[in-house]
Structure 1
Amino acid sequence: MKIIKAEVQHITAIAPLFDQYRVFYGQPSDLSGAKAFIRDRVQMKESTIFIAYDDEQPVGFMQLYPLFTSIGMQRKYVLNDLFVIPSFRTQGVGKALMQQAIQFAKEERANQISLQTSIENHPAKALYERMGMQMDLEFDNYILRLV
């Protein structure tokens, strides 16, 4: 397995994975919308995406969005998307992508990586905890849905 940082030429490889990720979270399939969304993020440098390949087949991806912490006066990242195709789960792909995220964030001198996942996504939660992530017990998170 190899993991690479996505560039414009990788958009076509990421789009089907991103579409499957959205379907996993209950959204309707929209491959052209997925491709446009990923293209915009990559071209505008609004996120950093890593793709995991088994031989030449893309088998997973992870997307990090940059933010800043005012209190810490440093960069931080939100790991917004992590997806591994079902036939490659439990083979270390998710762990390798997480390790890449941690390495990248350290290289960028970020002070933290945060994420959210579905309450029911027990396999992902177990992975995050094995990687040293902890539930935030210091701050409550609120959300205002606008659409």
Structure 2
Amino acid sequence: MSNAAAADHDFPRPPETFTDHDGRTVTIEAYDGDIDPLVEMYADFGTDSRSQGVPPRTEADIRDWLPNLVEDGLNVVVWHEDQAVGHSVLVPYQDTSELAIFVHPDYQHAGIGSQLIRVLLGYGQENGLDRVWLSVSNTNHVARALYESVGFETIAKERVEMEMQRAL
């Protein structure tokens, strides 16, 4: 799908409840201002669940890092029962917004990331954003396929990472 065609696509908005591929009912909601559930989720990420230095490793560093995301960006959180299991954000960056997405390791490969990114893009549309940008490791084939599935196109490719964007 080209960016021109993708820009006409209307993505779902939060809240969005669905059943993931593992049979769990999860809800994606706009961020409510409480960082504690996100800190708890990020603190549980292992070394292999971190990319490009995020999320930070220690709880103190997570508490320092999160306010920049939640105060400046448009945030959505995935909930399974009373536990945050995913978080995605669009952070203003120059004349666009940078996308970041995180899904708790125990909830990956269940379709949550795919729906999370769609709801975040819908939230961005609803809030007047017209373009989204991201950076991803060249070796992160799962993330690259996810981004391509929702209309992101590669705009630059370096040795280690690539930049992608799409119009909303």
Q: Distance between the aligned counterparts of 1:37 and 1:68, measured in 2?
A: 20
* Per-residue deviation, residues 111-135 of structure 1 (Å, max 9, x unmatched): 1111111111111111111111111
Q: Under a length normalisation based on structure 1, what TM-score does the superposition of the two structures give? A: 0.74
Structure with the larger helix share: 1
Distance (whole Å) between structure 2 residues aligned to residue 111 and residue 46 of structure 1: 17
Asked if residue 12 in structure 1 is aligned to residue 36 in structure 2, the reply is yes
Higher relative contact order (CA 8 A, sep 6+): 2
Aligned residue for 2:97? 77
Matching residue within 2, 16, 31 for 2:59:
31
Structure ranking higher in strand proportion? 2
1:94-133 paired onto structure 2 within 5 Å: 94-133=113-152
Q: Which of structure 1's runs of 4+ aligned residues deviate more than 2 A?
A: 16-23, 25-28, 39-42
**Cα separation, 2, equivalents of 1:121 and 1:91:** 17
User: Closer, same or farther in 2 for the Cα pair 1:41/1:102, shift >3 Å?
Assistant: closer
Q: Report deviation, 1:68.
A: 4.8
Q: Is the 8 A contact 1:60 1:83 kept in 2?
A: yes
SS of residue matched to 2:64: helix
Q: 1:25: how far off?
A: 2.2
**Whole-angstrom CA distance in 1 between matches of 2:36 and 2:117:** 22
Offset of residue 36 of structure 1: 2.7
Identity rate of aligned residues, in percent? 21
Aligned to 1:46: 72
TM-score by length of 2: 0.66
RMSD: 2.5
Structure-2 separation of matches of 1:132 and 1:40: 27
Gaps of 5+ in 1: 70-75, 141-147
Q: Which is further off, 22-31 or 83-92? A: 22-31
Distance in 2 (alpha carbons) for counterparts of 1:14 and 1:77: 21
What one-letter code is carried by the residue in structure 2 that aligns with 1:2?
T
What is the number of equivalent residue pairs in this alignment?
A: 129
The answer for unaligned runs of 5 or more in structure 2 is 1-25, 159-168
